[in-house]
Chains A and B, each alone.
Chain A
Amino acid sequence: MNLNPFWSMSANTSRKRADGEEHSGHVEQRSSPARLPFGKKQLPPIPKNAAPITKPVSMGTPTQSANGTHASYGPFYLEYSLLAEFTLVIKQKLPGIYVQPSYKSALMWFGVIFIRHGLYQDGVFKFTVYIPDNYPDGECPKLVFDIPVFHPLVDPVSGELDVRRAFTKWRRNHNHIWQVLMYARTIFYKINTTEPLNPEAAVLYEKDVHLFKSKVVDSVKLCNRHLFDQPKIDDPYAISFSPWNPAVHEEVKDRMFTCKRRPDDHHKGAHVSGLSWVKPGSTQPFSKDDGPPPS
C-alpha cells in the first residue's frame, strides 16, 4: 500500500534521469528541507557543512603529513577532493543511484540505489558510504547498506558490502567513488559468490537458486517495508522517504523539472549568452556566417 506512492516517486526520478538532467542531487531534495537553498547551485552546501566536521581531520593533519605523501593535503584539499569526487559522480549519471554527502561530514555520503530489473528488481536499498579521512591515500571507501540485503557480498549483520574485492588497492587518480557506487549496483545484476561475506547466500545461489530467489524477494520486501523509516543516521541531509503527497511533492517535482542551473551572477555581463559564430566541426572563426559584411 505504501508502495504505490513510493513507486510513483521512483518513476519520477527515472523519468528525470531520462531527461539527461544532471541534477541527481535534487532527487532527494524533498526529503531534506535543509537543502532548499541548495536549489541553484549543486555543490555549495557540501563544503560549508562539511567544514565543521572535517576540522577534526585538519587536526589530524600532522600525522597525515607524516605518512609521507608529498603534499599532506590540508583540509582544503580534502574538502575539494571530495567535492570533486561528488562532481564526478554527478557527471557519471549512474543509473538508479543517488547520493548526497551528509550535512556533518564530507566523508560520509548517503545514498540510495534502485534496482530496476533482475533478481533484485524493485529493490530500493539505502546505504551509506564512508570515506577514509586520509583520502585519497587511504583504503577504499566502505559502503554499508542500511538494511543488510540478502546477497553473497553483503555482510548479513553489518550490511557492509565487500568493496575491497573490487578495489584491492585504492589508487588515487584511477579509483573514484563513483566506481564504488557503480560496483554496488553491479553486484545486484551479476551475482558473484566467491569468498562471500554471506556464505549462506552464496551457497544458496549455487545450489538452490529458487530458494535464493525467494530469499531475495523477501529481502527486497523487507527493505521496501522499511523505506519510510527514519534514516538510521540522524543528519539533515540523510535520505528519507515519505509517501507521495501531492501537496508537498508536486511542487518540488515541478521545480526539479523546470529548474535551470545558472551561475550566481549571470547578470553581471551583457554577453553572458556566450558568443560563437563557429560552425560546429569547423575551427574557423565566423564560419557559421549568415551573410557577413564583406571585408
Chain B
Amino acid sequence: MSWLSRLNPRGPGSRSGRSAAPSSPCTADPETCLMVFENHWRQVSWVLEQQEPSSSSDDLTAVRNHTDQMLCLLAEERPAESPEGVADVAPMGPILELVVTENILESLVQWHLRRGLDPDSQGALLKLFEMLIGQSQQPLLQHTAVHHPLLRLLGACADPELGCPLALENSLVLLLNQICVSMARQPVVLEMLFRAAPAQQGSTNLLIFSLLVPFIHRDGAIGQQARDALLLVMAASASHESVARYISENSYFCPVLATGLSALYSSLPRKIEVRGDDWHALRREDWMGVSSLVLFMNSLEFCNAVVQVAHPLVRSQLLDYLHNGFLVPVMGPALHKSSVDEMIASTAYLDLFLRSVSETSLLKTFLRFILLHRHDNDTILDTLLTRISSNSRLCMVSLSLFRTLLSLNCEDVMLQLILRYLLPCTHVMLSQRRAIRETDLYGKSADKFLSLIPECCRLNPATSAERDEDNALWAKVFSLYFHPTASSGGGSGGGGSSTPTSMEPPQSGPSSSRPLSPESPMHQQQTNTECLDWDSGYLDYLKDSRRGIEFCSWACRDWSAPYDGENPSPNTAPPPPPPPTANPSMAMYPEHFSLQQGGSSNTPPGQQRAAIVAAARSEWSSSERDSGEWDVTIGKNNCISLTPRSKKRSLQREELLPKPIPQLVPSSSSSAPPLLTSHPASSPAPHNPTSTVTVSYQAMYNGTSGQGDGCSDNRDRGLEVKKVKRDLGEPQYLDENANQNGSLVSCSPQSCTALPQTIFSNSEMSDAKSLCPNQISSPSPVTQPTSDTKLLTGDTSNPHNASSDLVESNQTQQSVESLIKELLEQAPGEPQLPGDSNGQGISIEAFTQELRELEDRVKERSRAAVLQEDTPGDSVSSERPEEEPSSGLEVKLTVDPKVEGPVVGLCSPARPLNQPASQPYTGPFMVVLFAKLENMLQNSLYVNILLTGIVAQLACYPQPLLRSFLLNTNMVFQPSVKSLIQVLGSVKNRIEAFAASHEDFPAMLRKAQQYLVARGKVDWTDSPAAVPTLRRSDSLVKSRKPSLGEMILRHTNSPTRARHAAQLALAHVRDGSQSLHSALFRGGGGGGASGLEKQAEALRVKNAVYCAVIFCEFLKELAALAQEHAVTLPFPQGQETEE
C-alpha cells in the first residue's frame, strides 16, 4: 500500500502561500466568526438575489471577495463540541449549519453558472472548493448542501462546451484529489457521491471519476495527483460492488489505463543507448533519466497499485484490458520487431516490467502472455528463447529476462521452459529412472564437478603440490578455517566395541554454547589474499548454495507436484512439443518462407516482419528438433549458425561432405560453434554500418569492451568489405539491414535458413577474395579459434551442405533427404533460396556483428591458408545484389563444411550417429543454454557471468527431475541427450588446449582474476548511489551483480585492497579497456600480425582467459549446489503465505 501511504493529505501549513486563502480571523471565537460570516453572506446574497444576473464586474468582484472570506471562515470552523464525544456525529459548527440550512454554496454556484462561468471565476471556484475541502476542520462532503454545488461545478468542468480550460487543469485535479482524500477518510462520501442524482453529475454516475480518468497518464505532478486520487477511489470502492460495477461497466477507466500504456509504450525509445559493455538490463538509474520511460513506469506502477487495491471486478477487467489492449497488440509486435536494436529494447523493457510488477495477478497476466500467447503462431517464450543464442547484446538482454523469469520460482514458467520436456523421463535410461530422486549423498557429483577444474587454472602455489586430489584442497581449506588444535580424537574405526569415552575428542573447540562459526575465520583468511585464492572460497559457495536452495525450495513449496519422476507420472505426461523431425510448426508457416524468397535485399518493409517471424520460427523449430547436439554451419557470408542436430542429418552430412571432416579441429582449440550469426543474405554487405553503428555494435558484441578498436580498425583500414558497407551505409544502417535482411542473426539453434549472403556471396572465389582484405580489418572480437579459419578455407569446395541446411530449416515437412536432393540439384541457380535467407535476417546489429565475425574469420582464414591478394571490395559489393541468390547458396555451402568439421569433433564424442526419429529432447531452453555454455571460451565475460548465473539458478531448483538432470553426474542419459557434465568437460578441454598454446596463460589468468576482483569492488561501491525505490529494489540492485561477481567480490574486504582494486578497475573503465588489455595481454597476437590483428587476437585471448576464471568458479558453484541439495530439507506445502 505504498501508494496510499504516500497520499497524506497536505496539512494546512503547506498552503500558506496560496492566494486563495485570505488572511482569516481564525483565532476569533466561533460566535464572532459566525457574525462575520453572516455579514458577508448578507452582502453576497444581496447580489445573488438580483433577478437578472448582472454582468457587472463589480458584482462579480464583490461576490468573489465575500465568498473568499466566507469559505475561509467555513474552513477554519471547528465542529461544535459533541456532548457524547462521538466523532462521527459531531454536530456541525454554526457556520456550517448556516451554510447547510441556507444552501449557500448552491446559491453561489448557481449564480455563477447562471451568469456564465468564465474561466477566471471557474478557476477561483475550483480553488476555493479545493481549499475548503482540503482544509476544513469538519467533514463537509457528506452534506448535500456541499457536494451538490460541488458536483454542479465539476459538471461544468465536464461539460463538453464549457469544458475545463487547460489552465485550470491543475486546479481541477487538485480539487478532485482533495475530494478523493476526504472520500478515503469517509467512505460514506463515495456512496453519497455515487448516489447523487445524475442531474448533478451530467451523464455519469461518478463524475469525479470520469473527470480524473483523462489524466491517468499525464506527466508530472498533475498526473501523479490524478493517479493518487483514482487509487483512492479504487481503494474506497473495493468493497462497493455497485461502484465497482459502475467503474467497470460504465467508465472508461480500465480501457484508458490499459491502452494508455500502449500509447506510452509506443513513445519509448526504440533503441537503448548503451554505455557499458556489460549492460544487460534496465536498472533504475538507467531509466530515471528517460522521461518517456518514467512516464510509462509510473503508469505501470499505477496499474499494479490498482490491481492491488481495486475491487475484483475492476481488477479482472483491468487485467483483461492489459492483456488484450497492451500486451497482445503492442508488446507482442514490439518483441518481434525487425531490428536488433528494437528487439533489445523491447526485451529489456519486458524484463523491466516483469521486475517492477509486484501484484501476483498482474504478474500472472504478463506470464500468461509470455507463455501462452502466440504471435504469428509462436509463443512469446519461443521467440525469446531463440534470442539467447544470438551473439550480441540481444543475448545478454534475453538472458537477463530469463533470469528474471527464473527468479519468480513460478511453476508454470518452469513447466514450459524445462519440466515438460523432462516429465516423460525419456532423457534418462529406463534403468536410471529410480535415480532421479537421488541426491549427491557422498559428494560424488561434487567431486566430479570439481575435477573438471583445469589444471592450468589452479594457480595457488601452496596447493600445487596437492593438486591431484581435490580433497587436498579441502584439507587445506579446512586447516585454514579451523583450529588445528581442535582435532585429535576423531575416529574410532570400525573396530570392536568401543566405549563412548574413547571417542571423545579433546576439548579444544570452543566450549561455549555457541557453535563455532567457521565463517569468520574464513573471511579473515580470504581478505588476506591479494589475488583470489582459487582453491578457497568453497565454503562461501556452500553457504550461498544453501541459501539459494532453501530459498528456492521454500518458494516452490506450493507447486502442484514434486516433479520427482513419479509425480506427475511420466506416463501420463503429455508429450512435449515435438522434436526436430516432426516439425509440425514449420508446416504452418510456409507463406513466410515464400515471402522471404521473393525478397533479396530489397524486401519491402511490409514483409520484413513476416520474414523475421519466419526466421525466428524456423530457428525455433530447428531448435526444437535438436537432440541436444548442434550442427554448426557457416553461411556464405561466413556467418555461422548452430543447428540442433538430428542424427539423420548428421549422417547425411557426413556423406555429403567429403572435405570438411578431415579438417576437424581439436575440440579444445576450436571454439566450436562460433556464434551463430545468421547473415541476412546480401543486404549486409551493401549497407554499411555507419561509424556510430559499428561502435554500438562493437560494444554489444559479446559485451566485449574492445569496441573502440574495432571501429577504428574498420575505418582506418578501409578494408574493402567495410568499404563496401560504408558506401551504402547510412546512419540508419541498422534499421535498414534489419528490414531488408530481417534475419535473426543471433539465433543459434537456427538451422542455416538464414544464410546471409554476405559480401562474398558471389562465388567461392569471390568469397576467398573478399576474405583477404578482411584479414586486416577484422578488429572485432572474434571468438573463433584459428583452427576454424583453416577449416573454412579448406571447405570451400563443398557447397552442398549448406544447401541441405537451408532446405531443412525451411521445409522440414518434406523428408529431409528428398529435399536435400532437390536442393542439390537446384541450389546453384535458385534465386529463391537466397531470398529465404534474406528474410531471416532480423537484426542489423547482428548483421554487423556477423560482418565482423566474417571479417575476422576471413582474416584468420587468410592468415591460415594464405589466400590470394585482395580483390577490390567495391566490385564485390556491387555484384552482390544481383548475384546473391545463387552465390549465397554456394558460399554457404562452401563454408559450412568447414565449420562443421570442428563442431563434429567437439560435440560428437558421446553421441551415436544414428538416432531414432523420436529422440529425447530436453527442450529449447536447455539446448540453447548448453550450446551457449559449450561456447564459453568465445563468450564475453559478461555473457558468461549471466549464463553461468542462470544455470546455477536452475540448479537451485529442488525438483528432482531438474536437479538430477543438471547435477547428478552419475546419471546415465540417453545418448542423444547432452548432459551438463559433458558440456563442461568439453569446455574444460578447450580451456586446457588454449592454456597450452599460450605460455603466459598463468600470468594472464592471475591478472584476469585481479581485474574481476577489482571490478566487483567497484560495482559494489557505486551501487549505493543508485538506490532504486521500486518495490523490488533489492532484486533490482541484485540484477546488476551476477552471483559469481558477488562471490569474487567477497574476497575483497580490506580497505586498502579495495582502494587498490577500485583504482585498477576505474583505470580500466577510463581507458576503455585498453589498459586492461595491455595489462593483461601484452603482445597477444602472432609475430607478424598487424596491430589490428593483434587486437582481435587479444580480444579472443581475453575472452578465453576470463572464461577460464569464470569456469572454475562455476564448477565450484555447481559442486556446492550438488552437495547442498543432499542436505536440504523440503518445506511442507502450504506452510505459510507471504506476509
Contacts and interface: CB of A to CB of B under 8 A. Distances in A.
B503 A130 contact: yes
Contact size range, A: 35 or more
Contact of A271 (B409, B475, B481, B557): B409
Given A52-B486, A285-B416, A155 B1035 contact: no
A278 interface: yes
A81 B442 contact: yes
Interface stretch (A115-123, A135-143, A211-219, A244-252): A135-143
Interface string B983-1003: 000000000000000000000
Contacts of A72: 469, 471
A74 B505 contact: no
Contacts of B883: none
A265 interface: yes
B1035 A270 contact: yes
B1126 interface: yes
Nearest to A23: B1129
Contacts of B8: none
A17 to B, nearest CB: 14
Contacts, number: 330
B210 interface: no
A283 B423 contact: yes
A264 B547 contact: yes
Given A56-B490, A84-B1126, A283-B568, A295 B328 contact: yes
Q: Which of B360, B413, B486, B538 has the most CB of A within 10 A?
A: B486
Binding site secondary structure of chain A: loop
B358 A59 contact: no
B1032 A293 contact: no
Contact of B515 (A49, A54, A83, A144): A49
A155 B423 CA distance: 51
B1046 interface: no
B225 interface: no
B1135 A260 contact: yes
Given A53-B490, A108-B503, A275-B360, A87 B1127 contact: yes
A281 B408 CA distance: 22
Contacts of A65: 469, 471
Contact of B1127 (A43, A130, A283): A43
A55 to B, nearest CB: 4
A45 B510 CA distance: 13
B287 interface: no
B518 interface: yes
A57 B486 CA distance: 11
A42 interface: yes
Contacts of A51: 478, 481-482, 486, 516, 518
Contact of B1035 (A34, A173, A233, A269): A269
B547 A263 contact: yes
Contacts of A54: 478, 490
A58 B482 CA distance: 12
Interface stretch (A7-15, A99-107, A185-193, A200-208): A99-107
A152 B24 CA distance: 101
A282 to B, nearest CB: 7
Contacts of A90: 1129
B493 interface: yes
A104 B501 CA distance: 13
Nearest to B316: A291
A84 B441 contact: yes
A103 B1123 contact: no
B491 A56 contact: yes
Contacts of A128: 500
B1137 interface: yes
Contacts of A80: 443, 446, 1123, 1126-1127
Interface string B531-572: 000000010000000010011001111111100000010000
Contact of A74 (B415, B470, B509): B470
Interface residues of B, number: 111
A117 B557 CA distance: 36
Nearest to A144: B500
A268 interface: yes
Nearest to B488: A56
Contact of A292 (B368, B443, B547): B368
B412 interface: yes
A80 B444 CA distance: 11
B1031 A285 contact: no
Contacts of A283: 415, 419-420, 423, 568, 573-574
Q: Which of A56, A173, A294 has the most CB of B within 10 A?
A: A56
B142 interface: no
B368 A52 contact: no
A286 B477 CA distance: 47
A274 interface: yes
B474 A105 contact: no
A221 interface: no
A37 B559 contact: no
Interface stretch (B158-166, B317-325, B387-395): B317-325
A114 to B, nearest CB: 21
Interface in A134-165: 134, 136, 138-140, 142, 144, 155, 158, 160
A286 B407 CA distance: 18
A225 interface: no
Interface of B: 316, 319-320, 322-324, 328, 358, 360, 363-365, 367-369, 371-373, 407-413, 415-416, 419-420, 423, 438-444, 446-447, 469-475, 477-479, 481-484, 486-494, 497-501, 503-505, 508-509, 511, 513-518, 538, 547, 550-551, 554-561, 568, 573-574, 1031-1032, 1034-1035, 1038, 1123, 1126-1132, 1135-1138
23 contacts: A43-B1129, A53-B489, A55-B484, A56-B487, A56-B490, A71-B471, A76-B477, A87-B1127, A91-B1129, A155-B497, A263-B550, A271-B555, A272-B551, A273-B558, A274-B557, A275-B411, A276-B560, A278-B411, A283-B420, A285-B372, A291-B316, A294-B324, A295-B372
Given A55-B490, A274-B410, 19 more contacts: A22-B1129, A36-B513, A42-B1129, A45-B515, A56-B488, A72-B471, A73-B443, A77-B1123, A130-B498, A133-B490, A139-B494, A260-B1135, A261-B1135, A263-B554, A271-B363, A271-B409, A277-B412, A278-B415, A283-B420
Interface of A: 20, 22, 33-34, 36-37, 41-45, 47-49, 51-61, 65, 71-77, 80-81, 83-87, 90-91, 103-105, 107-108, 128, 130, 132-134, 136, 138-140, 142, 144, 155, 158, 160, 172-173, 232-236, 260-266, 268-286, 288, 291-295
Nearest 4 A/B pairs, CB to CB = A74-B471, A133-B491, A52-B486, A77-B443
